[in-house]
């Protein structure tokens, strides 16, 4: 009797165990499927149709036409090139300069470091729209502080946001402004984590300051640096979306449009769902391939001291 009931409980337990994880997972999984996975599939489907988003108008199947027309579009290639410029332009601001600062300031006293830390983190928590508004005001061609100073020096005002050659760099610097302090903090933390006895030992051996940086600090920081580089490549152009949207609208003449902004433009300004979805699919595949390669690289090259 006792044995039977024990077996029964065990059986009940087992079927309960089989079901339980799914019950706990359900709310999260349903949300992710509904708002991310199903939309991905739907984007693929819509990329083969022509449709203007009005429920009353018909969806016409057009096959690969959306794709071939996008690839034939100069605007697409311009946006792709700009995406590359964003990434290359952001790397010094989001990785290189923070790395130099983190290494250079590693021996500042704890107390003042905490103060600097508190200040340079501020841009990270400021809303992108607020950042865009403030920079728009600072860089206004007529009355902005920057141009008032430039004019004060007797130079011609710079059209930071409406000169096609300058605008993209302006957006890059603003995006970099948001990230620089944060990257510096991450790299400083990694730098402070390096076992000081390694540095001490090298110093005893008569290594110069530069040798210590080159042979100890940089290799030990490489995984953090690689992580930041990967983030910049994967997300860099995406971070600038708000600034492009608020500050330049992708212009002048498409000079600041990157691939993310082009998606938005196709989907919601031109109301062409097919084009928008097709470029979303292209972006997703490209993005996925790059992410895959980069994460493999991280796995292979990350380097730990313990």
For other proteins, give the closer residue by CB, 168 or 226. 226
The three-state (H, E, C) secondary structure of 187-217, written as one string: HHHHHHCCCHHHHHHHHHCCCCHHHHHHHHH
Which alpha helices (DSSP H) does 121-144 contain, by range?
A: 122-125, 128-138
- Residue 155 touches other proteins, criterion: CB under 8 A: no
For other proteins, give the closer residue by CB, 82 or 224. 224
Give the span between the Cα atoms of 204 and 201, in whole angstroms: 5
Give the span between the Cα atoms of 13 and 30, in whole angstroms: 25
Q: Contacts with other proteins in 30-69 (CB under 8 A)? A: 31-32, 34-40, 42-43, 46, 53, 55
For other proteins, give the closer residue by CB, 88 or 285. 285
Q: Is the dihedral of CA 267, 271, 274, 279 positive or negative?
A: negative
Q: Which of 82, 184, 248, 256 binds other proteins (CB under 8 A)?
A: 184
Q: Contacts with other proteins in 6-25 (CB under 8 A)? A: 17-18, 20-22, 24-25
Q: Which of 1, 15, 107, 204 binds other proteins (CB under 8 A)?
A: 107
Q: Which of 9, 57, 60, 114 binds other proteins (CB under 8 A)?
A: 114
Give the span between the Cα atoms of 236 and 179, in whole angstroms: 10
- Residue 70 touches other proteins, criterion: CB under 8 A: no
**What one-character DSSP code corresponds to residue 304?**
-
Give the span between the Cα atoms of 38 and 43, in whole angstroms: 9
Within 10 Å of residue 35's Cβ, how many Cβ atoms? 9
Q: Contacts with other proteins in 266-285 (CB under 8 A)? A: 267-268, 273, 276-277, 280-281, 283-284
Q: Contacts with other proteins in 189-248 (CB under 8 A)? A: 189-190, 192-193, 195-197, 199-200, 223-224, 227, 230-231, 234-235, 238, 241-242, 245-246
Q: Which of 78, 105, 162, 207 binds other proteins (CB under 8 A)?
A: 105
């Amino acid at each position: 009797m006792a044995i039977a009931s024990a077996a029964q409980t065990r059986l009940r337990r087992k079927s309960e165990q089989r079901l339980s994880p799914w019950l706990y997972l359900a709310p999260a999984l349903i949300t992710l499927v509904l708002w991310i996975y199903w939309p991905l599939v739907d984007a693929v489907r819509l990329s083969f149709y022509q449709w203007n988003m009005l429920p009353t108008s018909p969806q016409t199947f057009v096959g690969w036409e959306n794709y071939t027309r996008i690839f034939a579009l100069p605007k697409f290639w311009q946006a792709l090139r700009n995406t590359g410029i964003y990434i290359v332009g952001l790397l010094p601001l989001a990785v290189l300069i923070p790395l130099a600062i983190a290494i250079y300031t590693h021996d500042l006293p704890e107390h003042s470091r905490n103060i600097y830390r508190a200040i340079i983190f501020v841009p990270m928590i400021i809303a992108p729209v607020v950042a865009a508004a403030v920079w728009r005001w600072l860089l206004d061609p007529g009355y902005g502080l920057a141009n008032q100073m430039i004019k004060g020096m007797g130079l011609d005002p710079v059209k930071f946001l409406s000169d096609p050659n300058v605008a993209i760099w302006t957006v890059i610097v603003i995006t970099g402004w948001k990230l620089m302090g944060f990257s510096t903090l991450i790299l400083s933390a990694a730098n402070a984590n390096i076992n000081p006895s390694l540095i001490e030992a090298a110093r005893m051996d008569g290594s110069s300051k530069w040798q210590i940086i080159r042979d100890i600090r940089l290799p030990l920081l490489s995984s953090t640096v690689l992580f930041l580089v990967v983030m910049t490549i994967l997300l860099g152009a995406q971070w600038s979306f708000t600034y492009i949207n608020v500050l330049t609208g992708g212009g002048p003449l498409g000079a600041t449009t990157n691939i993310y902004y082009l998606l938005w433009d196709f989907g919601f300004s031109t109301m062409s769902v097919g084009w928008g979805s097709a470029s979303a699919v292209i972006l997703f595949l490209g993005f996925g391939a790059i992410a895959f390669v980069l994460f493999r690289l991280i796995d292979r090259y990350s380097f730990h001291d313990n």
